[in-house]
Amino acid sequence: MAQARGTFRVLLGAAPGVGKTCAMLKEGHRLQEDGKDVVIALLETHGRAATAKAAEGLEMVPRRRVRYRGMWLEEMDLFRIIERHPQVALVDELAHTNAPGSVHRKRWQDVMDLLDAGIDVITTINVQHIESLNDVVREITGSTQKETVPDKVLRSASQVELVDLPPEGLRERLAAGFVYKPDRVDAALSNYFRVGNLTALRELALLWLAGRVDEALKTYREEHHINAKWETRERVIVALSGGPEGEQLLRRGARVARASGGGDLIAVHVTPEDGLAGSNPALLIKQRELVEELGGTYHQIVGEDIAEALLDYARANNAAQVIVGVSRRNALSRWLGRPSTPNSIIEKSGDIDVHIVTHAFASRGFRMPSANRPPIEWKRRAAGFAFAVLSVLLTGWMLYRFSAPAYAQRDALVLQLLVVISAVVGGLAPAMVCAVLSGFVLDLLYTMPIGTLHVMRVSDMVTIVLYVLVGIIVSAVVDRADTIARQAQRASAESEILAGVAGAVLRSDDPLQAIVHRTREAFGFSCVRVVQDGRIIVSDGEPGTVAGGGTGETGTDVATGVEEPETIAMSDSGPQLKLYGKPVEASDQRMLLAILSQIQTVLEHKDLERKASEIGPLAAAEKVRTGLLNAVSHDLRRPLASATAAVSGLQRMGDTMSERDRRELLGVAANGLKQLTRLVTDLLDVSRIREGALPLALAATDVGEEIIPLFDELNIGPWSIDLDIDPDLPLVVADPALLRRALSNVLVNAMRFTPAGKRVRLSASAFNGVVEIRVADQGPGVPDSRKNDIFLPFHRLGDTDNTTGLGLGMALSKGFVESMGGSISPEDTPGGGLTIVITLRAADRTLRAGQPIPPDERPDPADILEKDTLNVSGAVSDVILPLPGDGRSDERGLDRFITYGIMRGDDAHDEGRDDGRSHDDADDGADDGAHDGADDGADDDLNDDAHDDAHDDGGRDDGRVDARDDGDMRDDDDDETATTASEGARR
């Protein structure tokens, strides 16, 4: 079952010193009195005695020390808190920036991890650290706050409480030395903590908090299914031009939205078909990220007229206010060009309120008006014809009244100018009309006979015809240039849209939905759907309906009864775009096909991800099986071969052997069988841990009493280990036998990698209700990137001797410790090496050593299973389950298991051997190389493979037996092994 997310409470203050931290600690005490498990995850006292006193009685999790630029910094230990897993964690100063090398850059990101782990969090923050208020606080106080928290993080809190203190009261506390040290009080009172500053910050905090009231109203309406429109929430549109003033406009928009009762912040960037001078894609990306941090949404649309497109979008989304920056063009630029966008928005706004925000970039620099022109529509063409006719008639009348034939050349140029202007205004056709009319004017006023259309001289006729032709040619060139410019501008607009679609694919969690949404916005469709094989894959918007019809839903068959959509498809079998609301223009087909290609790529990627997710667990399971069978092929065959050869020798020559030789062969057989028993027991324990079926006998355990006997079992002398056990060490909650096995594995692992002449250090100490057992070697160490691999089953990080052990020792130690409710983790040893830290809960001091732990204090098995201790997806169980019982008493089961391992293992004999450092297990046991004692003349009816392996792997080696035990079996295992060996010898 997925773990429920923790609740998030925020204590907000207008300024430092209002009492947020003390209020948090007071709430912690109250919850603790109510029976909650409360810890202080991080507390900043800043040397305030009252704060430190308020923390007394609450458990404080030790901080993690980080070395940075020659100094030691202390940060919240995220992993330790999650392992401790209290019900409530108190975290001070949410906006803090963590030291380099921490898990996250910001403390609020650590808090998100605690919440995801199911831990309730109570935290503190000042109003100057809220992202949307950052620039306002700078204007009020003159101080820039670099540490901010995104608004969406605070909006996710289940409760935000204002810790309020009047400005006079705060200044009194400051003067009394309760906030800062005496040497800083005067400077603080005369700067940041002025009465005016504190009053403004207090009002800012109250206004921000008031914006959250609407969230409760929204929840109420959803719970009571109220769909009627209530005029209690406003939507604020912020127009972004892509200029540097965008961030200031967004923050102003966020404040306006919040001041209006928690309204919606909507940022809109209009990409006109004629392009947008000054649009900076990098700035737009940055501003989009800021919008999301402020809790708003970002939209990009295409429109012929920026003002009309923006206002149409505002009306469609029921927005009451539009925020736009002052035009960046100066007066001369506006006089030479078209009206500025802000002025156009004001003129066309109607009932929408328009806020014009000044900024530092207003009226900077001079830019010539854009040479681009919008597409020629009928209005423009009509205006061109009207201009051509009226301008020629008016100019002709003025030339008739005030000019003379002597000025014919000048007047011809004036008329030619009218032709060019007609081409610019209305295109080629109005320019041709203007050129012809201008020719008639020249004929009437400057050719003989004057005042008539008759031309007496051929030269005059040629001149007029050439004049008209030149005018038409110039008009054609101007019209062609305008057409090319419009095509380039449309291509630019299309490229911007496609870049936005590509960006949405990279940034969005649901790229398909993001593409469809941007397509609908960019082209102005009422609904866009992706359909494949007759089913709707994704839909954005709602199509209009026809009489008697209905609308379909995502994931269902395409509904009938909706308006007939336009269809864009690349093939009959691939995905299709269904477009509702307006016809698709021919010029849009190419870009829609490009978008459809992106959609097809996303669908193919999702299909590959789905297949990979299905194959991944199978591949992981197969990898585990391969590792297991590789290990089994080596580690079961060697002791089996030794035992078989020894028994064979006893059968053939037992009567002629001396008692000493007989005992040696029996020792070889017993040791081999003991190794087999240990390996099978480890495999079974892996399965039991994975299934949560490991038998536990938790009792109050003396760590020292479990550690000391291990030295004899593992043949560890005082010259090879430093022991440091606190004499006042409390008892721990543990299963003594499992604790011994865990410690045995860790100790042998440390001994293996400690160089000759160096010592392993074993220490045990207690703090905050837990006991830490630390085993530190002085070997080569393990890189940070591979530390977690230490605890993987069937995994070796490059053992120099890969001939023994299944690679289970450290994995089993982790499983045993976590099954007892503890934790085990690797750390670097100062000066080089690896330290394994085992942490166990201290037992109740009223319990005596060996006394069972009460049921209500035992760890929850469900929590242990949640950890997936051995990180194997059931593959181990699949291989091990055929072995009946516990593998000790059923010889047929053992036979089947061994045979299966040998047969399967031979095929993968040489695979899976890793080559790095191995902090894996302590399951090496005795030295197999000395356990031969086999006779060359063994009976043919014995296992020939086992017999041969005994000779290959060992050698005679003067008959001595290394009987050193690795100590990872319970005592009764040794007895059973000895019994089994003697029974085998008798048989």
Write the pLDDT tens digit of every residue in 449-473: 877 777 778 888 888 888 888 888 8
pLDDT of residue 795: 59
Residues of the chain above pLDDT 90, percent: 17
For the four alpha carbons of 49, 53, 56 and 61, in that order, the dihedral sign comes to negative
pLDDT digits (tens, 9 = 90+) for 601-659: 888 888 888 888 777 666 766 665 665 565 555 556 667 777 888 788 788 776 777 88
Average per-residue pLDDT for the chain: 75
Per-residue pLDDT reduced to its tens digit, 772-786 = 999 999 888 888 878
Q: Is the pLDDT of residue 22 over 80?
A: yes
- What digits encode the pLDDT tens for the residues 548-595? 444 444 444 444 455 678 888 776 678 888 888 888 776 677 778 888
Q: How many CA atoms lie within 13 A of 201 on its CB side?
A: 33
State yes or no: pLDDT of 938 exceeds 90: no
- What single letter denotes the amino acid at residue 932? D
As a whole number, mean pLDDT of residues 95-123 equals 92
Predicted confidence (pLDDT) per residue in 296-309, tens digit: 899 888 877 888 88
In the predicted structure, residue 395 carries a pLDDT above the cut 70: yes
CA dihedral 15, 16, 19, 25 (to 10 degrees): 130
- Look at residue 640 in the predicted model and tell me its pLDDT: 77
Between 152-161, 541-550, 793-802, 882-891, the lowest mean confidence (pLDDT) is in: 882-891
pLDDT score for 477: 87
For residue 415, give the amino acid letter.
Answer: L
Predicted TM-score (pTM) of the model is 0.34
Q: Look at residue 439 and give its three-state secondary structure.
A: helix
Nearest-angstrom CA–CA distance, 643 and 932: 8
pLDDT for residue 950: 37
Per DSSP, the chain holds a count of helices (H) and strands (E) of 31, 24
User: Which token pair is 574?
Assistant: 């691939």
- pLDDT at 548 (0 to 100): 44
Euclidean distance between CA atoms 154 and 157, whole angstroms:
5
Lowest mean pLDDT among 45-59, 198-212, 278-292, 861-875: 861-875
The answer to which of 187-196, 424-433, 501-510 has the lowest mean pLDDT is 501-510
86 pLDDT higher than 90: yes
Residue found by looking up tokens 């440390």 in the block: 750
Q: Yes or no: say if 945 and 919 are a contact pair by the CB < 8 Å rule.
A: no
The C-alpha atoms of residue 375 and residue 382 are separated, in whole angstroms, by 14
Pair of tokens at residue 654: 């037992």
pLDDT of residue 713: 78
Out of 352-366, 371-385, 504-518, least confident range: 371-385
Q: What is the pLDDT of residue 84?
A: 93
Average pLDDT, integer, range 722-745: 88
**Identity at 540, one-letter amino acid code:** D
Question: Alpha-carbon distance 985 to 269, whole Å?
Answer: 88
3-class DSSP string for 87-119: CEEEECCCCCECCCCCCCCEHHHHHHHHHHCCC
Cβ–Cβ < 8 Å for 131, 293: yes
- Return the pLDDT at 889: 36
Say what the pLDDT of residue 638 is. 66
Q: Per mean pLDDT, which range of 219-228, 739-748, 866-875, 882-891 is the poorest?
A: 882-891
Q: Report the pLDDT value the prediction gives residue 331, as an integer from 0 to 100.
A: 54
Give the residue, 688 or 186, on which the prediction is more confident.
Answer: 186
CB atoms within 10 A of CB 182: 9
Rounded to an integer, the average pLDDT of 903-912 is: 35
pLDDT at residue 872, rounded to an integer: 43
Rounded-to-integer distance, Cα 738 and Cα 735, Å: 5
Mean pLDDT over 229-240 rounds to 73
pLDDT at 372 over 60: no
Mean pLDDT of 936-953: 37
Tell me if 453 sits within 8 A of 443, measured CB to CB.
Answer: yes
- pLDDT for 632 equals 57
**Residue 582, φ and ψ in degrees, nearest 5:** -165, 160
DSSP state letter for 857: G
Domains of the chain: 8-210 (3.40.50.300), 228-357 (3.40.50.620), 378-483 (no CATH), 508-608 (3.30.450), 699-880 (3.30.565.10)
pLDDT of 802 strictly over 60: no
Cβ(646)–Cβ(671) below 8 Å? no
Is a pLDDT exceeding 90 seen at residue 923? Answer: no
Q: Which is more confident, 609 or 889?
A: 609
